[in-house]
Chains A and B, each alone.
Chain A
Amino acid sequence: MGQFQLSSPTLVLVVEDDPILMMAMVEFVENAGCEPVEAYTVREAIEILETRTDIRTVFTDLDMRGSTAGMQMAVTIRDRWPPIELVMISSQPWDASQIPARGVVLGKPFDRRRIVAAIRKFAV
């Protein structure tokens, strides 16, 4: 497992419009042994996904400007790139039925252990 990680770290697209939160999220991805790719807007995230094929996981905040933008993006990703795994964080209660298949939603403030565990799980 370690060998695999060293030779080819899993790419995780981190989507977050708040730079401070982005710092923590990037740290979580790194703690999970993955390589973060940062996107500060939904549009930017979609563009990256459209241009790159090596993204295995998207780690996104659902609380971005335009209240439903995060969740809409998650749904879009599940539609357009079904294999990509989704790890989401939210400060609001979420409706389990809206969550795309295989998606994981974790609350704020951060529970570092769970977030790292979730990213690591999908990175395997």
Chain B
Amino acid sequence: MPPAPLPALISDPTRLAALASYAILDTPAEPGFDGIVQLACRLCDVPVALVSLVAGERQWFKARVGFPSCETDLNSSVCAYALERPDDLLIIPDLTADPRTSANPLVTGEPFIRFYAGAPLVTPEGHVLGSLCVIDKKPRPEGLTAAQQADLRVLAHQVVSQLELRRAIVQRDAVRADEARTYRARDALRDAQAAMATAGGDVPAVLGALIAGAMQAIPAAEGGVVELLVGDTLIYHAPTGTLAPHAGLRLGLTDSLAGYAATTRAAHFLTDALTSPHVKPELSARLGLRAAVVAPILRGGRVLGVLKLQSAKVAAFDAVDRDIVELFANAATACLTAAEAQAETQAQDVYWRGLFDRLHEGFIVGEAVRNTDGQITDWRYLTVNPAWGELVGIDTKGIVGQTIREVFPGIEDEWITDFAAVVDTGQPCTFTRQVGTLHRWYEGRAFPLEGDRFGVIFLEVTQRVEADTRRAALLQLGDRLRDLATIGEMTAAASEIVGRTLHATRAGFGLIVGDVEFVDIEPDWTAPGQGSVAGRHRYDDFGNIRAPLQRGEPLVVNDVATDPRTQAEAGIWQGFAINAFVHMPVREKERTVAVFIVHDVNARVWTVDELAFLRNVADRVEVGVARVRTEELQVVLNHELAHRLKNTLAIVQSIASSTLRDVAERGPVEAFERRVLALSRAHDVLMQKSWTAAKMRSVMESVLNIQGGLDRFALDGPDLDLSPQAALSLSLLLHELATNALKYGALSARGGKVRIAWRTEEGTAPTLVLDWTESGGPPVNAPNGRGGFGSKLIRMGLLGTRQAALNYDPVGLKAEFRAPLADVQVSVH
């Protein structure tokens, strides 16, 4: 017999939903329900009682007595028919006789039930969930008594009450769980936002904090990741948990649930990847993903990426999780935006920083340090670039925060005052200055920044400055060598210039003895605190160092302790406070005759420029010495010549005197002798300057001295350098004038005097004007006739110019002589 059709009500969704709301199916047995079925058995005197709940495709027993299984399919269900009768009991005295149940497997087979009475379980809303039924294995035609029926109703009511109570508890717990979940999510979100804010522009840190927070909020998550969207590709960032091994994974938008979320710009949760059209099976296998929850990270209309949590368990996530993940994704938007902006700023910083790092110029940002009066007394390094370190030779580590006075104790004050002026006036400045303690020169520009800050950009110019210094030193040396008269003075001057220019500790000049066997070092220049090494030294005592000097090459040692030529004797060198030295040979006729010596107490590398400078100095000293030797020889020759000249003049005098021995009048003879004498005096004065020039006043005094006493002459005029011709001419002229004055003029009287005054007249042709004025002598008469040699000579004037104005004033002779200054004076070459 076919089974009777089951009531359509069974699959009514609202009834099923009501049943589900009690969350009772498949739960363990509970004493409250068990007690009811036991009571029902006893009250109705039956072996079987059940609390049967009818689901869409089965009936499930929450409590049972005398029945083996906990559920059956609906074919075996009698209770299903109870659903149609919410108000009445369903009583079937003989199940075999009722068309609805006669074919029921439980009736036709084990356990061969025969009697059924069920009271519907009706919810307060009127839904029938199932029944409380009692069952017997023999028919009961009498059914149940009225009391039994009433009891069964009451008990069914109790079951519903139990269900209600139970549901209330479950709902309360669920509310509590939801609340806890919300709190947890909120806490996690707050923590994550704080962490993301702290992470600043560090995008990986932001993403890490985001995922950590989301996983904290959703404990079911086993792995998490942010997939950032680049073009059409999602790239795994900060994978965490089970996803940790998949950093950098790249997926298309159609490969995964995340792609789906990005495409739809909506959050989703996935109950089971195996049934989802949005996840490729091989991907879910690879990632160990069964359930997932995803939310897009959006900014404006743009998808930045997707936040995903996953689990290997089916249905690990629900809609609440989806909402939570969405919250996190939204929070990430702000942080990612900030992070992006910050990263961009940082990238710019890095760009500028990189620029400064690559600069060859040194770069400093400094900040003024002020005293209590507000005056700038120092400044602090806020930034330096690597070039700064190279240019000053100091490790840049630890410099920032220190002041320049701390970094360079004893630094020149200008390094502070100049930059203080930049800060105080806001005007940039340029500088070329040495840091004395470093022996290095810097050139650069300082410019104001905001507040007390300023920037400096600079280059080292030590080489250029030192080249300038060496050039200036050579010029100075040239001047000194030209002026100095002895070899000793010249070598001393050169030593000092070399020592100071090369910042050496000792410099000197030594004469070589033999084939570079000995060196006689002359008094040397030394830096303060260094001793002299003047005196004789034997080269072989100081190592194997003669060879280069014998060849005429410089002997250059940068470090006596490591140079193989001096290594063995390093102690001797160091005993003289020498660790580096140069001997620059001075050559004469293919032989090294002298050396220029430079010592340094510290080992140092002598540069090509420095050696070239030394070579240059040695050459100049060589030329200077040669000049002095020539001059010394010239002086000897001059003296010999003067001696011979004067001796010859004496012989001339002697011949004249002897020749004119018989001339009765001795006057002319003596006049001749005295003219020779006057000529000779001019030569004497000229010889003092090797016949190149004579001082005018010396010439005058020398010649007037012959004429009995300088005190009768008053000389008044500037001392000029006379040419030899002018000196001779002036001597003879004054001699004749003085001779006449003694004979006839002012000097013939006791109180007579002569004033000789001279001056130069400027003009197109500057002129020397010499005035001879006699006074205090006898009345003057103009001489008659043309006169003799003396008168002629006077009329010829100075240098034969014939510019002689003679005024025989009765008071005394007045004479004026003029000559072109250019002829009178020594022409300056």
Give the residue name and chain of the B residue nearest to A24 (CB).
Answer: B654
In this assembly, does A66 line the interface, its C-beta being within 8 Å of a C-beta of chain B?
Answer: no
Residue interface bits A84-124, CB-to-B below 8 A is 1, else 0: 00000101110000000000000111111000000000000
Stretch at the interface among B75-83, B436-444, B467-475, B642-650: B642-650
B673 touches A21 (CB 8 A): no
B658 touches A110 (CB 8 A): no
Cα distance A112–B675 in the bound complex, in angstroms? 12
- Which residue of B642, B646, B670, B674 has the most chain A CB atoms within 10 A of its CB atom? B646
Instruction: Note all chain A residues with C-beta closer than 8 A to B658.
Output: 20, 23-24, 27
In this assembly, does B821 line the interface, its C-beta being within 8 Å of a C-beta of chain A?
Answer: no
Chain A nearest CB, measured from B742 CB (Å) = 12
Residue interface bits B672-695, CB-to-A below 8 A is 1, else 0: 011011001000100000000000
Instruction: Note all chain B residues with C-beta closer than 8 A to A91.
Output: 642-647, 650
Which among B652, B661, B670 is the interface contact of A109 at CB below 8 angstroms?
Answer: B652
Number of residues in B with C-beta < 8 Å to the partner? 25
In this assembly, does A54 line the interface, its C-beta being within 8 Å of a C-beta of chain B?
Answer: no
Instruction: Note all chain B residues with C-beta closer than 8 A to A111.
Output: 674, 677, 706
Number of residues in A with C-beta < 8 Å to the partner? 17
Instruction: Note all chain B residues with C-beta closer than 8 A to A112.
Output: 670, 673
| Contacts of B711-739 to chain A: CB distance below 8 A | none
Residue interface bits A6-43, CB-to-B below 8 A is 1, else 0: 00000000000010110110010000000000000000
Cα distance A111–B653 in the bound complex, in angstroms? 10
Cα distance A11–B670 in the bound complex, in angstroms? 25
B646 touches A20 (CB 8 A): no
Known: A18-B651, A24-B654. Is A92-B677 also a contact (CB below 8 A)? no
Cα distance A19–B160 in the bound complex, in angstroms? 177
- Which residue of B642, B653, B661, B706 has the most chain A CB atoms within 10 A of its CB atom? B653
Known: A23-B658, A24-B658, A92-B639. Is A110-B647 also a contact (CB below 8 A)? no
Instruction: Note all chain A residues with C-beta closer than 8 A to B637.
Output: none
Known: A91-B642, A92-B639. Is A108-B654 also a contact (CB below 8 A)? no
Chain A nearest CB, measured from B51 CB (Å) = 155
Instruction: Note all chain A residues with C-beta closer than 8 A to B653.
Output: 24, 109-110
In this assembly, does B655 line the interface, its C-beta being within 8 Å of a C-beta of chain A?
Answer: yes
In this assembly, does B657 line the interface, its C-beta being within 8 Å of a C-beta of chain A?
Answer: yes
Chain A nearest CB, measured from B329 CB (Å) = 115
- Which residue of A89, A91, A93 has the most chain B CB atoms within 10 A of its CB atom? A91
Which among A89, A92, A93, A109 is the interface contact of B649 at CB below 8 angstroms?
Answer: A109
Instruction: Note all chain A residues with C-beta closer than 8 A to B649.
Output: 108-109
Chain B nearest CB, measured from A85 CB (Å) = 22
A92 touches B673 (CB 8 A): no
Chain B nearest CB, measured from A70 CB (Å) = 12
Chain A nearest CB, measured from B660 CB (Å) = 11
Cα distance A53–B676 in the bound complex, in angstroms? 37
Instruction: Note all chain B residues with C-beta closer than 8 A to A109.
Output: 646, 649-650, 652-653, 673, 676-677, 680
Known: A20-B651, A24-B657. Is A63-B643 also a contact (CB below 8 A)? yes
Chain B nearest CB, measured from A78 CB (Å) = 24
Cα distance A58–B618 in the bound complex, in angstroms? 55
Cα distance A111–B681 in the bound complex, in angstroms? 11
Chain A nearest CB, measured from B206 CB (Å) = 103
Instruction: Note all chain B residues with C-beta closer than 8 A to A107.
Output: 646, 680, 684
Chain A nearest CB, measured from B339 CB (Å) = 100
B657 touches A27 (CB 8 A): yes
A21 touches B650 (CB 8 A): yes
Residue interface bits A33-63, CB-to-B below 8 A is 1, else 0: 0000000000000000000000000000001
Cα distance A110–B677 in the bound complex, in angstroms? 7
Instruction: Note all chain B residues with C-beta closer than 8 A to A63.
Output: 643, 647
Instruction: Note all chain A residues with C-beta closer than 8 A to B650.
Output: 21, 24, 89, 91, 108-110
Chain B nearest CB, measured from A25 CB (Å) = 8
Q: Which 7 A-B pairs have the closest CB atoms?
A: A24-B654, A109-B649, A91-B646, A108-B650, A108-B646, A109-B650, A91-B647
B interface residues, Cβ below 8 angstroms from A = 639, 642-647, 649-655, 657-658, 661, 670, 673-674, 676-677, 680, 684, 706
Q: 16 A-B pairs, CB-CB below 8 angstroms?
A: A21-B654, A23-B654, A24-B650, A24-B658, A27-B657, A63-B647, A89-B650, A91-B643, A91-B646, A91-B647, A92-B642, A93-B639, A108-B649, A111-B674, A111-B677, A112-B670
Q: A23-B657, A107-B684 are in contact. List 9 more A-B contacts (CB 8 A).
A: A18-B651, A27-B658, A63-B643, A89-B650, A91-B643, A93-B639, A107-B646, A109-B646, A110-B677
